[in-house]
Amino acid sequence: MNCKGKTLFSIVSIIMIALSFSGCIVHSPDVVYLEHASRTEWAFVVTQINELNDLGFYGSNVTIGIVDTGIDVNHSALQHLNVVWKDYVNNKSIPYDDNGHGTHIAGIISARGELNGTAPEADLIVVKALDEDGMGSDKTIAKAIYFCMDPDQDGNISDGADIISLSVGGFDWPIVGDFMGDASNKACQAAIEMGIVVVVSAGNNGPYNSDVSPPATVSLTIAVGAIDRSKNIAEWSSRGDNDGLPFVSFDDRYDPSKKPEVVAPGVGIISTYKDGFYANLSGTSIAVPFVTGIIALLLEGHPQFKHKDAMAVEHLKMVLMNTAEKLEGQEEPHDRYYGYGLIQSYDAFLAMEGD
């Protein structure tokens, strides 16, 4: 693969098996196709999503932006959706997904029927920024983030996303003071300053000593690692470098923004897929929509935190930090593997009461 002169991002699913100096990522799309499926119930139990759903919270009046490979809106579990759509790859006006990953992400959030998603009543803005191979440039990812912020580009972000879901990852390699992923990093920061919560996959570069993948390196993003059904960290889930190791991170990180921030289910997750199928996928990218959906439930119950400012985003992160479940073997208050712990929906919801 010739990626010379380009900064590319890929979907962070399964295991990244090669990483070139130029920042191109090769991933292994080990997809298990299913014609019928029931949802991965343990994932909804360990994160307390079921408890908030039982209270009647399903993401109503919350808008989620998904930057990925697209969406199959003809899938039986997604036909209820009326999405705002933008295609920066092929400029098509009708939603589609020629890869399948984006449909999997959307299903974890929005599916109805055989496998209900985390927040099926949330509105979706879906931007295709990754091609059929799951690859996309830094500038395209940045454009997609800005579109999620203000879809009609009129300067009024009230019709934009409250949360942006980024199941993508690049590689941050310093070259004469310049960084790959600079455009998308700046776009994430701009969104956060407008009070938009940005949830990003930590990356699949573990267990080696590196760091989370950009744009998860941006301070007030929420970087998400992946656990399995036994609550063990996935071996390939990227670890955080929070001590300013040379050539990785240049500033120490402080609570609540040490990386990764939280972990969520990301191993063996069944969701919707392209062409009407279902699929079983793994990756930190698959953990992202669980956190995205949970935040949608929290914002539905506590709308005072929507589209406020960066301080509101930081406050939400403090809540997630303080209410996360500490897992076996995890260092406290932060662990470079597990972050602050496993995200807990109901506990976070209660902690926000009165704020």
Tell me the catalytic residues: 68, 101, 285
- Strand intervals (E) in 55-158: 63-68, 84-87, 123-128, 135-137
Which among 265, 264, 281 is positioned nearest to 273, based on CA atoms? 281
Say how many CA atoms lie within 13 Å of 88 toward its Cβ. Answer: 22
Quote the CA–CA distance of 164 and 229 in Å, as a whole number.
Answer: 26
How does strand 278-281 pair with strand 32-34? antiparallel
Q: DSSP state, 64?
A: E
Count the neighbouring beta carbons within 10 Å of the beta carbon of residue 332: 9
CA angle 332, 333, 335 (to 5 degrees): 65
Quote the CA–CA distance of 313 and 309 in Å, as a whole number.
Answer: 7
